[in-house]
Structure 1
């Protein structure tokens, strides 16, 4: 295939939808003009465990504009869970207001619908609930005796760990803690829901359109074909919008009850209690190695929590099973049910938190061995996935570490902590290896061609979403390349359940899946038009339409993993480097420089890819600097309720950042050689910063976030200073 367009994949073109966003013309879920729309405000419980004993709606009902107040007493009967702790998946049902029981502080217990947003908010504050309270279970450390194994795959082992540890010359046995964190995308969770002729139409901020439609259909027990979900633009998600949450069901329920479209927006405060979070993890690590740096054993045990009504496990041990060549390996996960809402996937679930423990422990063991931490990692590199004995489709971890070291100036690092100083500042260098599965999922797409004025215009349709990652742009570039037409002759329409089905945005599968789906549709169009002419000439798409005497043509295509894909482990790999300056008197520290090197297959658009890595590095830095959601220890409510107390990094917190993409086209991963990067960017960033802090101070910080108070109170490691 010839390609004469300079705007195909691999080129750093501007976002094709950027002009719509900066002009305020890109419509998000709560911005669609829907005739007759009214507003809803959800009401939250004020206890963490118990039961509603009385409800007084009289004062709220008197208020001007109030249309309906819904509680468990008059709510529509929905599909209920068939088991006690069903797994929380992106398409699971979401029953709400079905019983007087309260499972966590902030659980939805009612909904007010009114003519205006202000009327709904005011009336919601007037509804009175009385409760019979019970002692809530909100402390992971106090309830650890109730820990259980969620499923058979929660445990993994190979070799003989006891023998491996006995064989080791040096060992590390330490515990790391990561706190609860919340997603907080810029766009609040929102929906405008309506019913017409027994069918649902929902403008909803969702990352996965098809799964949202399944959740809605199954919860209301209607055919999926009677549900339409629309989300052309999503203002961030980070995993919080992977599935349709209870606010979606509330709005749809209210719309059917009153016979009018209902808009419901989850407030910033409610996003702490009603849209999931990254769970707290306690991770115990045991590592052993010989004097020459050969790993002999690795144990990674995670204790975490789920809710009392749904089950979710963050697989922190995923990276420990596959990243390094270690013959004796044990990974386990245990959960404790608590009276908190169900945790769920947050950017790089498992890898972001698990890599902090693993890559910190690797650094600790390298220090004990008096080995350079880069050389220690390279010593234990492998081209075969030890967790399943499959070859990696490609693995450039060593190259990422070597090139990153050169770019960063690693040769200036001093082995002895505290050896590099400038004035009152202690200067440290840290490194970490990174990996993230690069999934590729079945994706369908439609291409519509139109011949006008001697030019071919193409429209690509799929139910994919753009959550700020650049989906519109890379799909446009793919169609431009494979149809060999300019970008400005390509239109992309996304985020509608009427369009061909994709896996949606999440799990770092979006770019590879969407691009290949568009590719197959475009290639099918060319092949079918050639077949109509009974020719195999290398004709332009314009010539094919003209020779077929067609002014328009449309077809579909579906891309799916190959047999080779199934026989390999497919991952993206990377390395993070950090330079941290610590004030030796106050414990205040600054991240001065960060270098990220990634081997992520073909980069579809360097500009949007760079933005993804910057975002990941920022979130990784946030894990270290400040991010944590704190629970009131008696009542179970979140003390952190806004950005005034839930702190995230700002410009002054961040470093000078260099991002390097290694040239790599992994054709086993998929025919375009594309791998995911959205979650690789956050993976192990926290460890690189913590390792740099150790190199600066001699203090091992194993409890995130690393605050100045913790740093001042910590004692240096033996023989470190």
Structure 2
């Protein structure tokens, strides 16, 4: 086994929790050894809209081991929404089993609790529901268009005069791009072990944001937040699906309260299609105007999506369009259709992943119209000002990403005219896209515990942050090692407990910057206090071990909080990137392979190149999945999802993926935060789909505006006007 003595930031060290994971010692939500626990199994509705008129629980209740069947008839009374269509957020309450009303196919209508998982699962099948079914549920997107509404007054954004900008353009584009419903599928199923004891709740839960989960649970049950403890030491992936507290968690807490024993509830893979969120279907209309020299004059991005009939969520597809290019006239609009599906919510790079497909495909189309190189077209319209907020970027190396990526990829070998690069029966195409992702930095607190053992100092870092597979444990340890001046192996990191100092949790690409700066603040505060105690100058370089000895201490604790600076607030802080793809398409069958991908990113200081590389590879794979296969199809008669397992919801496997090169540009951005760290977890997926679609056009001469791009769609698609086969 390799032993690393690296003492801090920037080293490509192995994950410090790797051994725990491969030996099964890292405990996930459903693996904690809680004594005397029961098992819960949810029951799903079999209609898309209507109400329950009778429930027969007799057969299930007769089974050995079954302790309760809970439905709206006997459920605990919970806090419910006081408005008709509340917005879904990470702290939103999650009332469940409060009414006979059914809002969508698969909605939880009951839960069985038994001594074993098998007993609960079998008994759930025996509970009989009779429904009064509404004959006209909203399950067809096109048929429901007339119900579209503007979510709120701030939904639309305007800059300049869109009509005037289009009028002065020499070339215009008006096209619609569609991205389907997609589902998060982390390896770890959603799970919770909940215990209600003397009015206090302890929950081992698969949650990305433990603080927000304590708020959701306490508000739903209307108990003090201090009486709720959420523990999420390890989370086996989330991709946004574990940001908010879902109804299975509330049912587990409810069952524990009712039965006086801990209750484990694990959502099945099938139920993860209907009960743990999804990405919306988005119909996106792009309008672009440009001068003949490539100067953009106008850009519009209109998104039509759906939400549930009881909660509101809008994926912000126009975020990149507002700020990525120097466009004087711009419009961003959103409209929502209430439909009888579960409420959609954030999925990796919400807004950017889907919106970038429309934006960057449209940019490629406009470059083709102008007969310009698509790399040069993007560079020509670069800007150092975020026009949507009228702020300068803290740093922006988008042009560098595009130029360096083009050089590494061999872009000079690309033929501008489609269908001209061929090998045997394969048509070969090159595609490019630009990427951006806001790099948030949020207030984060941390505790450091220093212990002296001989001449060695051991440090423990505590914060309620979570590691969702991204490497948080490792980069926090590296940060502590860096600022304490000790080896990484002398640092222990403890995460995912709501009793620990407060952080924003995992999501939105703010984790690395926030956590590391929080750990840094605690370490620097500890050193500062130890020096102050002995009147040692703050700039005097003295080892932590000597500081503890000088203070006659074997143990010392300190906390610190990192907050965004005033300069941060005055700037627009983003990570930027560029994607290049080479695609080979069989001209007879429409089958295609992604042969090569080059990703170049500027994301500030890279704390650990190895974990960062893993994040980009994961993002590129998910981006490829958007093009190759990922889609959730709705059964048109009943509103259920046809694709409801990993056997028919297809994701990329190793053989689908390309040879990949990842390049991180050196970037120092101390406006972003003191350590200069920016997020990359969501940058990796952004615009990937567009680069592949653009490569397919360069190979075939066919514009593909609907994801996923299947061989059938590709064969049926017409050639771009003016091209011949």
Q: Give the TM-score taking structure 1 as reference length.
A: 0.99
- 1:440-459 equivalent positions in 2, closer than 5 A: 440-459=441-460
Q: 3-state DSSP class of the match of 2:154?
A: helix
Answer yes or no: is the 8 Å Cα contact 2:5–2:489 preserved in 1: no
* Residue of structure 2 in register with 1:557 after alignment: 560
* Residue of structure 2 in register with 1:625 after alignment: 628
Q: 3-state DSSP class of the match of 2:74?
A: coil
* Residue of structure 2 in register with 1:505 after alignment: 506
- 1:201-350 equivalent positions in 2, closer than 5 A: 201-350=202-351
* Residue of structure 2 in register with 1:715 after alignment: 718
* Residue of structure 1 in register with 2:90 after alignment: 90
* Residue of structure 1 in register with 2:171 after alignment: 170
- 1:110-189 equivalent positions in 2, closer than 5 A: 110-134=110-134, 135-189=136-190
Shift of 1:64: 1.0
User: Per-residue CA shift, 1:6-51, capped at 9, x if unaligned?
Assistant: 3301000000000000001100000011110110000000000000
Structure 2: how far apart are the matches of 1:56 and 1:388?
Answer: 57
* Residue of structure 1 in register with 2:709 after alignment: 706
Answer yes or no: is the 8 Å Cα contact 2:7–2:486 preserved in 1: no
Q: 3-state DSSP class of the match of 2:111?
A: strand
Which of 590, 593, 609 matches 2:612? 609
* Residue of structure 1 in register with 2:417 after alignment: 416
Structure 1: how far apart are the matches of 2:249 and 2:534?
Answer: 50
* Residue of structure 1 in register with 2:367 after alignment: 366
Structure 2: how far apart are the matches of 1:538 and 1:411?
Answer: 52
Answer yes or no: is the 8 Å Cα contact 1:461–1:500 preserved in 2: yes
* Residue of structure 1 in register with 2:26 after alignment: 26
2:599 pairs with 1:596: yes
Structure 2: how far apart are the matches of 1:567 and 1:429?
Answer: 38
Q: 3-state DSSP class of the match of 1:711?
A: helix
* Residue of structure 2 in register with 1:51 after alignment: 51
User: Per-residue CA shift, 1:263-319, capped at 9, x if unaligned?
Assistant: 000000000000010000000010010000000000100000000011000000000
2:75 pairs with 1:75: yes
* Residue of structure 2 in register with 1:526 after alignment: 527
Structure 2: how far apart are the matches of 1:387 and 1:668?
Answer: 19
* Residue of structure 2 in register with 1:357 after alignment: 358
2:487 pairs with 1:486: yes
Answer yes or no: is the 8 Å Cα contact 1:76–1:253 preserved in 2: yes
Structure 2: how far apart are the matches of 1:388 and 1:631?
Answer: 39
* Residue of structure 2 in register with 1:103 after alignment: 103
Structure 1: how far apart are the matches of 2:722 and 2:375?
Answer: 21
Q: 3-state DSSP class of the match of 1:512?
A: helix
Structure 1: how far apart are the matches of 2:722 and 2:563?
Answer: 54
* Residue of structure 1 in register with 2:684 after alignment: 681
Q: 3-state DSSP class of the match of 1:219?
A: helix
2:697 pairs with 1:694: yes
Shift of 1:243: 1.1
Answer yes or no: is the 8 Å Cα contact 1:5–1:480 preserved in 2: no
Structure 1: how far apart are the matches of 2:429 and 2:387?
Answer: 33
RMSD (Å), alpha carbons: 0.8
Structure 2: how far apart are the matches of 1:540 and 1:224?
Answer: 41
Shift of 1:5: 6.7
Q: 3-state DSSP class of the match of 1:15?
A: coil
Shift of 1:720: 3.2
Structure 2: how far apart are the matches of 1:11 and 1:334?
Answer: 46
Shift of 1:340: 0.2
Structure 1: how far apart are the matches of 2:195 and 2:309?
Answer: 32
Structure 1: how far apart are the matches of 2:256 and 2:615?
Answer: 37
Answer yes or no: is the 8 Å Cα contact 1:5–1:485 preserved in 2: no
Answer yes or no: is the 8 Å Cα contact 1:233–1:465 preserved in 2: yes
Structure 2: how far apart are the matches of 1:50 and 1:276?
Answer: 21
Structure 2: how far apart are the matches of 1:549 and 1:487?
Answer: 24
Structure 1: how far apart are the matches of 2:622 and 2:155?
Answer: 27
Q: 3-state DSSP class of the match of 2:548?
A: helix
Shift of 1:153: 2.0
User: Per-residue CA shift, 1:118-160, capped at 9, x if unaligned?
Assistant: 0000000000000000021012221111111112221001111
Q: 3-state DSSP class of the match of 1:143?
A: helix
Structure 1: how far apart are the matches of 2:254 and 2:196?
Answer: 10
Answer yes or no: is the 8 Å Cα contact 1:7–1:13 preserved in 2: no
User: Per-residue CA shift, 1:440-487, capped at 9, x if unaligned?
Assistant: 000000000001122110000000000000000000000000000011
Q: Which runs of 5+ in 2 are unaligned?
A: none
* Residue of structure 1 in register with 2:63 after alignment: 63
Structure 2: how far apart are the matches of 1:229 and 1:665?
Answer: 36
> What is the aligned residue count?
718
Which of 550, 556, 569 matches 1:566? 569
Answer yes or no: is the 8 Å Cα contact 2:60–2:126 preserved in 1: yes
Answer yes or no: is the 8 Å Cα contact 1:199–1:226 preserved in 2: yes
Structure 1: how far apart are the matches of 2:464 and 2:389?
Answer: 33
Q: 3-state DSSP class of the match of 2:680?
A: coil
Answer yes or no: is the 8 Å Cα contact 2:7–2:485 preserved in 1: no
Q: 3-state DSSP class of the match of 2:294?
A: coil
Q: Which runs of 5+ in 1 are unaligned?
A: none
Answer yes or no: is the 8 Å Cα contact 2:432–2:580 preserved in 1: yes
Answer yes or no: is the 8 Å Cα contact 1:5–1:484 preserved in 2: no
Shift of 1:107: 0.4
Q: 3-state DSSP class of the match of 2:142?
A: coil
Cα distance 1:630–1:380, how it changes in 2: closer, same or farther (>3 A)?
same
Q: Give the TM-score taking structure 2 as reference length.
A: 0.99
* Residue of structure 2 in register with 1:496 after alignment: 497
Answer yes or no: is the 8 Å Cα contact 2:394–2:669 preserved in 1: yes
Q: 3-state DSSP class of the match of 2:633?
A: coil
